Structure 1
Amino acid sequence: MIQLVDVTKTFDRFPAVNGATMTVPKGVIYGLLGPNGAGKTTLLKLMAGILRQDRGTIVIDGEEVWENTNVKQRLLFLPDFVYFFPHTTIRQMADFYEQVYPSFSRERFVELQEAFSLDLDKKIQQFSKGMQRQAAFWLAFSVQPDVLIMDEPLDGLDAFVRRHVKQLLIDEVVEREMTIVISSHNLRELEDLCGIVGLMERGTVRLERDLDELRAGMHKLQLAFRDGFPSELVERLDIVHREERGSIVLLVVRGEKRRIEETVRAFHPLILDVLPLSLEEIFMYEIGRGAHV
């Protein structure tokens, strides 16, 4: 389990992370969402022990992360821009990882060679961006970490490789109870992968919730009434967004689905459709402004 309590990190008096608290249970895929500048990358680096917090605590399985070799040998961080030593090959990087991580498995490394189909002896810097990302995943899966923290990990991968990597991530969680924290601009990708999401804004984690619970707590309604939209309904619903398209009213409403439907039916609508909300839509309405992840 990963636990952050009241974590703050300031750069030149600017609080990139400001009192963030979050909990990542063991063996889940946790998606970290937020607009640009919310502090997601800084928070991930703090979690990985790359940066040291100014205030607050960060523990993994009860141990502080900062300068803790025992924790860091069981943790791997994949940054937005992957880095390899200059002029090295995948084979040479595998030798290095084997020295650093006791959990590195040569058997797993050889097994994954077929999956990634990269030249072991070609300099990694000569690979395309997507192939370098594949090399990073190959090495990461070979390490078999207990905790994998990733910032925009699927960027640059083609559709086939992306699907394969996502399946490998799911397999690691199911088979080894690996804990994964992932931040991505592609909310559709997170929707496919994550069981829990955290919503970050202005340096703090505003909410974290099981994805199914998050979906169950917000609904999109398509409505029409004989004599126009009843004003009383506004007072009875927790309306997040309202839009009118001719005689059709589109509402995004917080609450329990059954109670919302009962409330609306009391006003005898001509049309009452409950439509699914995507993770991207939920994100936009929770943030409450037109920000981009």
Structure 2
Amino acid sequence: MIEVKNLTKRFHDFTALEDVSCSIGSGCIYGMVGSNGAGKSTFLRALTGVYQPDAGKILIDGQPVWDNPAVKRRIAYVPDELYFLAGANLNRMERMYQSLYPDFDKNRFEKLCGHLQLPRNKSLGQFSKGMRRQAATILALSCRPDYLFFDETFDGLDPVMRSFVKKLICEDVLERGASAIITSHSLRELEDICDQLALLHKGGLVLESDIENLKTSQFKIQIAFREDYDKSKFDDIQISHYEKSGSVANLIVSGEREDIVQKLRAMDPILLDVLPLSLEEVFTYEMETLGYTFQIDDLIEEENRHAES
């Protein structure tokens, strides 16, 4: 288990993380979203022991990470800005990882290199961005670590390769009980793989939830009545968002779906539709409730920019 307690990290006069606390259990895929500068990379570097916290604690299975080689050997980290030895090829990097990780699985490494058809004798400096990320991911997964940390994992990968990498991560979590933390600017990338999702904004963890709870605890209602009405008509229903256009109102509702639908039907509406929410919509309305509407808009804009580039 990973326990982060009141984590704070500063750089000169800039606070990258402030009072961040969370717990991540074994066999869990934990997604963290946030725009550039939100603190995602700093969070992972602190978890891997690259950065020493200025305040707070980071414990992995009860042990501190900072200056603890025994814990670090159980972690594999693929950063956003990849690093390889100068002039190294995959064979040389394999030997380095074998010397650092006692559980390095040579057979798995060779199998994955063959599957992805990555040239093992070619300098990694001559690889494309996507190939370099594939190489780093292969090396990390071949370490057979208990904890896998990926920063912007899918950046530079084509759709087929993204699906393959997701499959590999899920296999490690399901078969070995490993834990994975994946950061991304994209809600869509994490929706189909993560068990838990957190939103980091300006160095603070402003929202954290189980994905299934996020999706099932809220739903959208489209409703209309013959007579004029306003939001007060629904005072006994928990509404996080209300918008009316003409006679049709859109409600974002929390609670037991069947009970709420029954109440609404008893009002004799001329239109009543119950619609699912996308994860993007859920985050938007959750953040509205917390007063962070501007941030989720920035995140979606950034996601669209990455999709266009």
TM-score, normalisation: structure 2: 0.89
**Structure 1: how far apart are the matches of 2:70 and 2:34?**
31
CA deviation profile, 1:138-175 (whole Å, cap 9, x unmatched)? 11111111100111101111111111111111111111
Paired residue type of 2:67: E
Q: Per the alignment, in what secondary structure is the counterpart of residue 166 of structure 1?
A: helix
**Structure 2: how far apart are the matches of 1:62 and 1:251?**
44
Question: Residue in 2 aligned with 1:76?
Answer: 76
**Structure 2: how far apart are the matches of 1:234 and 1:44?**
44
Deviation at 1:234, TM superposition (A): 4.5
CA deviation profile, 1:184-228 (whole Å, cap 9, x unmatched)? 122122111001112223322233221111112221111111113
**Structure 1: how far apart are the matches of 2:264 and 2:232?**
10
Question: Residue in 2 aligned with 1:292?
Answer: 299
Paired residue type of 1:292: L
Paired residue type of 2:286: E
Q: Per the alignment, in what secondary structure is the counterpart of residue 37 of structure 1?
A: coil
- 5+ unaligned residues in a row in structure 2: which ranges? 301-309
CA deviation profile, 1:232-279 (whole Å, cap 9, x unmatched)? 235333332233343322122233323432343342222221211111
Pick which of 115-124 and 273-282 moved more: 273-282
Question: Residue in 1 aligned with 2:258?
Answer: 258
8 Å CA contact 2:45, 2:51 repeated in 1: yes
Question: Residue in 1 aligned with 2:95?
Answer: 95
8 Å CA contact 1:116, 1:138 repeated in 2: no
Aligned length: 293
**Structure 1: how far apart are the matches of 2:38 and 2:263?**
37
8 Å CA contact 1:230, 1:267 repeated in 2: no
**Structure 2: how far apart are the matches of 1:59 and 1:263?**
47
8 Å CA contact 2:34, 2:184 repeated in 1: no
8 Å CA contact 1:284, 1:291 repeated in 2: no
**Structure 2: how far apart are the matches of 1:84 and 1:204?**
31
Question: Residue in 1 aligned with 2:50?
Answer: 50
Paired residue type of 2:208: E
Inter-CA distance 245–115: structure 2 relative to 1 (3 Å threshold): farther
Supply the RMSD in Å over aligned alpha carbons. Answer: 1.7
**Structure 1: how far apart are the matches of 2:36 and 2:122?**
36
8 Å CA contact 2:231, 2:242 repeated in 1: no
Deviation at 1:37, TM superposition (A): 3.0
Q: Per the alignment, in what secondary structure is the counterpart of residue 120 of structure 2?
A: coil
CA deviation profile, 1:15-66 (whole Å, cap 9, x unmatched)? 2211111011101101112344332221111111111111111011111011
Q: Per the alignment, in what secondary structure is the counterpart of residue 190 of structure 2?
A: helix
Q: Per the alignment, in what secondary structure is the counterpart of residue 193 of structure 1?
A: coil
Map 1:1-293 → 2, pairs under 5 A: 1-288=1-288, 289=293, 290-292=297-299
Paired residue type of 1:174: L
8 Å CA contact 2:52, 2:66 repeated in 1: yes
Q: Per the alignment, in what secondary structure is the counterpart of residue 199 of structure 2?
A: strand
